[in-house]
Amino acid sequence: MFRVISIIGFLGIVIAIAFLSRKETNALSTLTSLLRSGKRQDLLYVLAVASFVLLTLSGFLPVLLAGNSVSGALLFIHVIAAPVFAVCIAAVAVLWVRHHRLDKANWQSLLRLTLLQPAPVERHAQTAELGQKLRFWAILLSSASAILSIVLSMYPLFGTYGQTVLLHLHGYSALFLVLAVVAGSYLPMTSRQVDAGKR
Amino acid sequence: MSPSKQALLLALAVVICTAQSFSQDAKIGDVSDGNRSSPVHLLNLYDEEGSIITPQIEPMLPFSPKQTCSPCHDYTRISDGWHFNAATGVLAGRRGQPWIFVDRTTATQVPLSYRAWYGTYRPEELGITPMRFVQLFGRHMPGGGVGDNEQMQTPENVMRWWVSGKLEVNCLSCHDAEPGHDQAEFDTQTRKGNFRWAAGATSGFAAVQGSARDMPDNFSIYGSLLDDGKKIPPAIRYDRNRFDSHAKVLFNLERQVANDRCYFCHSTKVIGAQSKRWQSDEDIHISAGMQCVDCHRNGLDHRMVRGYEGEAQEYDNPGAATLTCKGCHLGEDSEEGVRAAGRLGAPVPDHVGIPPVHFQKLTCTTCHSGPWPAERAYPVKTSRAHALGTHRVNRGDAALPHIVAPVFVEQGDGVIAPHKMFWPSFWAKIERGQVKPIDPLLVQPLAAELVPADTLGTGDWPGLTQGQIATILQGLVQGDSTLTAAYVGGGNLYRLSATGRMIAEEHAAATPYSWAFAHDVRPTAQSLGVRGCDDCHAGDSPFYFAQIPVDTPVAAESGAVRRMVDFQDISSFYARLFGWSFMLRPLLKIIILAAGGVLALIFVSYLFNAFSAFIRGADGS
């Protein structure tokens, strides 16, 4: 089931990117420029992205390709990358959270979006900002869910059923996280160049 | 009457006759009227010809279980049960314990089975006829099978079968609750060739003397003139007091077979620090008051439930699914609408803190069954392999065959289970690349000159040298120049090169034979993992790194070991690295928990802020 949903999710995002992505978006070049900047926050961000990529590949490849759970060398990579990602994402969250607080203007943008009201041209920037903030919170929420679900399963708190639920929660949270990150990086509504001003 | 009506009537008649014949097939003892008490078995004894045995008629003949039980029970159907049907070509199912042919003189221990289990050889491949098979292994057979199958009798043995009689299914082997029942007598009698006398000898109300094996081919059970006064013809003497006035005998039979009856053939002795009987514990189920047959059930067809996962699908027997570990304790695989979990009081486990992947990759028995794994797999002795319980048992710890347990082996379905294991050793011929065992009787004359006698009676390997192996191989080739002879032992195949040099190479035929076991089950508090992950996930845990001795008769190569991980589809390096990684696990957990906590705190605090802002907005403030 999880495999099917994952495949559908990844296919959906690939198709969406193919049709909707902004031509000028180049995640690699953005990361490279951040790395070159030498700022601590930028390095932290790059480290988070790198560990995230490792976690995604090691976690989803066996599921998508073979329908198996993570094991062997991939499990090692997953286990090594996990604490790095957890620390980085926590630090990024602490550093960026103030700039991603939803304000009144965001609320009105959200209402306008949910009511499907056409936005005037001058308000496209507000919509994009809302998208950026929502993506941040989606990443935060799914990261917290993915991290806590797996770490709680390591303690003798839950029985087989609870363990299974936690494992599923970990998987679906991770899937949501991947989709949020990928969508945010490539799709026009949520994506903007990583705005240094907000950091 | 029209042709169509005639056809309809004819069809009706056929249906009625068929239904009647079916109803006649069901014998009185095979159909329960619902009463759960055990019926009294006050029976006339019948000989194999179907004549009643009375105390007044001499000579008294051995009673035939088939003739005695058949009036009330469907012998034919029962005799196709799991304990009797090995040679009938029935689906073999999961690999089980084979019969192990052991001959110290020829340094042979080879797995035999009439079932198509990979790694076993059919007895006839070693020149073992059904008659010899019964003489060798009848000790732990409940009769029937090849001992009761005329079609399998070889022409050269026909007269001997007349003398010995058939080894009929001995219902008493399992169902007898008579205190004087002596199953060890079954061994004594089958070795003497007294097949038709064997059931009577075990019964507790009869004594058998003499030996059919010593009798000439023209021996008659009604009396024969013997040319050798020292030879005693087989004969049975009943306790006449057991016959009532109608020549009936009271059998103390139980439908629910007692554990002791099962144990005669299914005991395991672990040779280790706590190998004395008083030091070892019973299976937790037995301690809880259960009987073997509470789980290993059968219907009239006596197709016992073996109790492994997948059996229900293999044999199209849905009921078997509820009698596995998971079936009883978790209720998995039970039929829709049937609540099977917890039956017979089985506790439903929580498995707190155990990641679910363990339940995909391990059988329940991995953590719960057998001796707790130590640095080295334990030598074990089993009833069937070592003739335990018989009068001729070698009580020495080193007696062949050399079986070890537990060995955690990855099965064909990718799931790891505890196994018993031994390394086959036998003389062989190579034909078109295939390694086929040679009849040890052909090797015995050659080996007897070279192999030292077992003067101490240890029953251990003789300790062959490669030179002795080469000499025997040359001897075999001299006897048959077309033969490419080889010796299999200790994981190697030994053969002579064209120049006469000894070559030892690993070969598939030399790989160890192993079979999964499930008992004795340990209680929860003594299960693997109860002390934490490092019961298994450690750099030196027995689960992965216990030594498995490579048993070999070749003296120079004894002492070699394999590791448990060699029998699992996992690299030793990875297992060790993964084990070591658990040393950092507590730190890892703290880091990740802290990070997750920070994220959760941020999310929750801002969520509250959002709520308060929303409420303020709603107030218009």
> ∠ CA B516-B522-B526 to the nearest 5 degrees?
120
Q: What is the ipTM of this complex?
A: 0.82
Q: Residue B61: which of B323, B227, B224, B236 has the closest Cα?
A: B236
Q: Which residue of B has its CA nearest to A70?
A: B357
- Distance from B597 to chain A by nearest Cα, in Å? 8
The string of pLDDT tens digits covering residues A169-190 is: 999 999 988 888 887 766 655 4
Chain A residues in contact with B602 by the CB 8 A cut-off are: 93-94, 97, 140
Whether residue B574 and residue A156 make contact (CB cut-off 8 A), yes or no, is no
The domains found in chain A, sorted by start residue, are 2-198 (1.20.950)
* C-alpha–C-alpha distance, residues B397 and B72, integer Å: 45
- Residues of chain A above pLDDT 70, percent: 74
- Exposure on the CB side of residue B359, measured as CA atoms within 13 A: 17
**Which CB contacts under 8 angstroms, 24+ apart, belong to B393-397?**
B394/B457, B394/B458, B394/B459, B396/B457, B396/B458, B396/B459, B396/B460, B397/B271, B397/B275
The arithmetic mean of pLDDT across residues B562-577, rounded, is 90
Whether residue B599 and residue A89 make contact (CB cut-off 8 A), yes or no, is yes
Q: How far is CA B76 from the centre of its chain?
A: 23
pLDDT band at A23 (very low <50, low <70, confident <90, very high): low
**Which CB contacts under 8 angstroms, 24+ apart, belong to A40-43?**
A41/A92, A41/A95, A41/A199
* C-alpha–C-alpha distance, residues A100 and A136, integer Å: 7
* C-alpha–C-alpha distance, residues A151 and A9, integer Å: 25
Q: Residue B145: which of B168, B162, B119, B179 has the closest Cα?
A: B168
Report the pLDDT value the prediction gives residue B222, as an integer from 0 to 100: 83
Packing angle of the helix pair B184-191, B195-202 (nearest 10 deg): 160
- Residues of chain A above pLDDT 90, percent: 17
Chain B residues in contact with A87 by the CB 8 A cut-off are: 591, 595
The string of pLDDT tens digits covering residues B530-543 is: 998 989 998 889 99
The string of pLDDT tens digits covering residues A123-168 is: 666 677 777 788 888 888 899 999 999 999 988 899 988 999 999 9
**Residue A65 has what DSSP assignment?**
I
Average confidence score pLDDT of chain B: 89
Does the beta carbon of A102 lie under 8 angstroms from any beta carbon of chain B? yes
Mutate to test the interface with B, among A55, A148, A153, A173 (most CBs of B within 10 A): A148
How far apart are the two ends of chain B, measured CA to CA in Å? Answer: 101
Which is higher by pLDDT, B374 or A30?
A: B374
Q: Residue A52: which of A83, A28, A75 has the closest Cα?
A: A83
Does the beta carbon of B350 lie under 8 angstroms from any beta carbon of chain A? yes
Report the pLDDT value the prediction gives residue A122, as an integer from 0 to 100: 55
Identify residue A139 by its one-letter amino acid code. I
* C-alpha–C-alpha distance, residues B73 and B77, integer Å: 9
Average confidence score pLDDT of chain A: 78
Which is higher by pLDDT, B280 or B245?
A: B245
Q: How far is CA B534 from CA A98, B343, B462, B516, B538, in A?
A: 43, 32, 40, 24, 5
Does the beta carbon of B591 lie under 8 angstroms from any beta carbon of chain A? yes
Number of helices (H) and strands (E) in chain A: give both, helices first.
7, 0
The string of pLDDT tens digits covering residues B470-516 is: 999 998 888 777 888 999 999 999 998 888 889 999 999 999 999 99
* Candidate from A104, A141, A147 with C-beta closest to B595: A147
Instruction: Report the range out of A19-33, B218-232, B372-386 with the highest average pLDDT.
Output: B372-386
Chain A residues in contact with B352 by the CB 8 A cut-off are: 156-159
Least reliable range by pLDDT among A25-29, B384-388, B449-453, B529-533: A25-29
